[in-house]
Chains A and B, each alone.
Chain A
C-alpha cells in the first residue's frame, strides 16, 4: 500500500508533537463540569435568572428550556453600537482572507502566485455558499439526540429563522441581530480552510482543493464549532474556553494541513531548484492585513462593543508584537540576521496563540503567550527541516497547529477571572476541558481529513498535479494565466485586429501555439 509509509510517519510525528496531551480526547467522556462558560459570549446579564445551561434558542429571540417551556417571550434589546461593531468586525475578518492570500502568495514561487491567491479567494465563495445552505445550521443550530453535543441540527438550513431580530445564544442575550452573528461566524468559516491551503501550495489539483474545502468545512469545521460554541456543544458544556477559535480554527486547520501533506505527497523538487519566496514584500503586506483583520477576529468575538472587546483588542496586539519581536531575536541568535519573513511569521504565530485566550487574559499574560509561541513554532519548523519527512510548504502546521495548541494550553493557564467573569474557579477542571478540546480538535482534524482525502483521491484519480504540471507551474496549468509578464513572459502576444482581447501563445501553455 502506497499510503502506509506516510501514514506511519505521520503517526510518529503526531505522537512526538503531542506527547503533552495525555488526557486527550478521552477526557470529554468524563462528567461535565459545572458552570459551563459561554466562551466567546458577552456577559450582558440574564434578566430572567435562567440557570439551565441546556436551554435552546427560539429564533424570534425568546428562549425555551430543553423541555420546550418558554422562559422569555421578549427578545433582548438591540444595540446599535454593538451591531455596528460586529458588522465592522465581520468585514475585518473577511479582509483577513485576502490578507492570508498575500501572506501565502509572497512565499510561493512566481509561477504559482495566482494559484495560491485563488486558493484563498475561492474559499470566500465556496465556504460562503456551503455555510448559507447548511454549514451554519450544523454549527450553531441546536442538535438533537445522541449527536446533540457534537453537531447542530437542521433548524437553520438555508438560514431559515436567522433574522433581523436579536436572539439568545448559549444563555447570553445577544444585542445584535441573529443575521449579523451568522455573518460574523461565516467569515471565520471562510478563512479556516483557506489556512490549510498554505501547506499544499504548488502541487494540489485546484479542482480537488475546491471540493476538499467544501466538504471539510462541513465535516470538520462545523462539528468543531458546534462542540465549542454551539447550543449544547459538548466542549462548551465541559467548560472549555476558546474565545475566538484557537481550537476551532487554528488547530483543526493546522492538524488537517499536516495530514493532507502526508497524503498528498511532497513537491518533486530537484536539488538545484530555487524555492525561495518570490515576493516577501507581498508577504509583509499580507501580514499587516492579517494583523489588522485580527482585531475584528478577536475583539469582535466579544459580540458587543464593550470593555471585553477592548481588552481582547489590546492583548491581541500585545501578543502579535511580542511574538514578532521574539521570533526576530531568535533568528538573530540562530542564523545571525533578523529576517523579514521571521518577523511576519512571528507576528502571525502570536496572533494565533492569543486567539483562544484573547477574551480571558491580562496584558502580562499576553506578553508571555506571545513570547513563548515563537520557540514552539520556530522549533517545529527546524524539526521539519531536519526530519524532511513531510513537505508543509508554508509551515501551516508549525504556525497554526502548534501555535494553536500553545494558545489553548495558555488559555487554561492564564485565564483570569478579573478579565472575564466566565473564567471558572476550578483551574484543574478548566485544564482538563482545554486538553479535551485540544484532543478533539486533533482527532476531528486528522480523521476528517484522512476520510475526505482518501475519497477525493479515488474520485479525482489522485489529488496532486502531474510532474509536468508542477514543473510548468500551477498558474498556467490550473488557471491558464500567469501572475507576471517578464518581458513577454516567454510568450508571444498577438492582438487580434484591435477589437478582441490579445491572444497568447506560450511555449509553456498546454494548448500549444500554432506558430
Chain B
C-alpha cells in the first residue's frame, strides 16, 4: 500500500475528487493547510502598508491505495489539479505498513 499526499489548490478539489471517483477511490482525508513552495507568497496592502503572505492556503488530500494503482492515480490527480500556473502544488508518495478498519478490525488492503 502507498499513501498519496497531494497538496493542491483549494479550488481544484472538486476536479480531483471527480478524477478519484473514476478509479473508485472514495476514501480520503482532506485538510486545510498553509504552505510555501516556489511561489514565495503574495503581497497585500492595507492603507498602503505592505504585508507579504508567505504561507498560502492549500488543501492536503491523503489517500491510501494499492501499489499497482499508484501511477495511474497520481497521474489523474496531477491532471485534475493542474492549472499550469505556479502554485499548483505537490504530490508525495510514501509506503504504508498496514491499515486497520476500526469498526470491523479488517487489516491491509481490505481496510482501505
Q: Which residues of B contact A341 (CB under 8 A)?
A: 46-47
Cβ of A381 under 8 Å from chain B: yes
How far apart sit A489 and B33, CA to CA, in the bound complex (Å)? 18
- Whether A277 is near chain B, meaning CB under 8 Å from some CB there, is yes
A382, CB-defined interface residue at 8 Å? yes
* A residues contacting the other copy or chain, number (CB 8 A): 17
Task: Pick the contact of A334: B44, B48, B51 (CB < 8 A).
Answer: B48
Contact pattern, A 319-355, Cβ under 8 Å of B = 1, otherwise 0: 0000000000001001101010110010000000000
A268 within 8 A of partner (CB): no
Residues of A within 8 A of B51 (CB): 274-276
State how many angstroms separate the Cβ of B48 from the closest Cβ of chain A: 5
Interface flag for B45 (CB, 8 Å): yes
In the assembled complex, the Cα of A123 lies from the Cα of B81 at a distance in Å of: 52
| Closest residue on chain B to residue A327 by CB atoms | B47
Are the C-beta atoms of A337 and B47 separated by less than 8 Å? no
Q: Using Cβ atoms and an 8 Å threshold, which residues of chain A touch B46?
A: 276-277, 339, 341
Q: Is A385 an interface residue (CB 8 A)?
A: yes
Contact A385 B49, beta carbon cutoff 8 Å:
yes
Residues 256-295 of A, flagged 1 when their CB comes within 8 A of B and 0 if not, give: 0000000000000000001111000000000000000000
Chain A residues with CB under 8 A of B49: 381, 385
Cβ distance A146 to chain B, nearest Cβ, rounded Å:
45
Which residue from chain A places its CB closest to the CB of B46 in the assembled complex? A341
Q: Is the C-beta of A378 less than 8 angstroms from some C-beta in chain B?
A: yes
Q: In the complex, what residue of chain A is closest to B47 when comparing beta carbons?
A: A381
In the complex, chain B residues whose CB is within 8 Å of the CB of A82: none
User: Are A381's CB and B45's CB within 8 A?
Assistant: no
| B48: contacting residue among A274, A275, A277, A335, CB under 8 A | A335
CA distance A276 to B49 in the complex (A): 10
Asked if A331 and B48 sit within 8 Å, CB to CB, the answer is yes
Collect the chain A residues with CB atoms within 8 Å of residue B47's CB: 339, 341-342, 345, 378, 381, 395
| Cβ-defined contact, A382 with B44, below 8 A | no
CB of A385 within 8 A of CB of B48, answer yes
Chain B positions 33-72 with a Cβ under 8 Å from a chain A Cβ? 44-51
Distance, CA A416 to CA B79, complexed state (A): 68
| Complexed CA–CA distance, A277 and B51 (Å) | 11
Cα A51 to Cα B45 in complex, Å, equals: 56
Min distance, Cβ B33 to any Cβ of chain A, angstroms: 16
Q: Check B45 against A378 for contact (C-beta < 8 Å).
A: no
- Which B residue's beta carbon lies closest to that of A398? B47
Instruction: Give the nearest-CB partner of B44 in chain A.
Output: A276
| Residues of chain A within 8 A of B44, CB atoms compared | 276
What residue in chain A is nearest B54 (Cβ atoms)?
A272
Distance in angstroms between the alpha carbons of A331 and B45 in the assembled complex: 9
Assembly CA distance A188 to B46 (angstroms): 29
Question: How many Å lie between the Cα of A185 and that of B62 in the bound state?
Answer: 62
| CA gap between A156 and B47 in the complex, in Å | 44
B48 touches A337 (CB 8 A): no
Q: In the complex the two chains form, what is the Cα distance from A395 to B49 in whole Å?
A: 12
- Give the docked Cα–Cα distance between A345 and B49 (Å): 13
The CA-CA distance from A337 to B45 in the complex, in Å, is 8
What is the CA–CA distance of A382 and B45 in the complex, to the nearest angstrom?
12
Q: Chain B's nearest CB lies how many Å from the CB of A352?
A: 15
- Tell me the nearest residue of chain A to B49, going by C-beta: A385
Closest to B50 in A: A335
Closest to A276 in B: B51
B83 CB, nearest partner CB in chain A, Å: 22
A308 and B68 alpha carbons, distance in the complex (Å): 83
A335 to B42, CA, bound (A): 13
Nearest chain B residue, comparing its CB with the CB of A334: B48
B78 to chain A minimum Cβ distance, whole angstroms, is: 32
User: Quick one: closest B residue to A399, CB to CB?
Assistant: B47
CA distance A501 to B50 in the complex (A): 44
Q: List 20 A-B contacts (CB under 8 A).
A: A274-B51, A276-B44, A276-B46, A276-B51, A331-B48, A334-B48, A335-B45, A335-B48, A337-B45, A339-B46, A339-B47, A341-B46, A341-B47, A345-B47, A378-B47, A378-B48, A381-B47, A381-B49, A382-B48, A385-B49
Residues of A that sit less than 8 Å from B by CB: 274-277, 331, 334-335, 337, 339, 341-342, 345, 378, 381-382, 385, 395
- Starting from the known contacts A378-B48, A381-B47, 18 additional A-B residue pairs (CB-CB under 8 Å) come to A275-B51, A276-B44, A276-B46, A276-B51, A277-B46, A331-B45, A331-B48, A334-B48, A335-B45, A335-B50, A337-B45, A339-B47, A341-B47, A342-B47, A345-B47, A378-B47, A381-B48, A395-B47
Nearest 3 CB-CB pairs, A to B? A335-B45, A381-B47, A385-B49
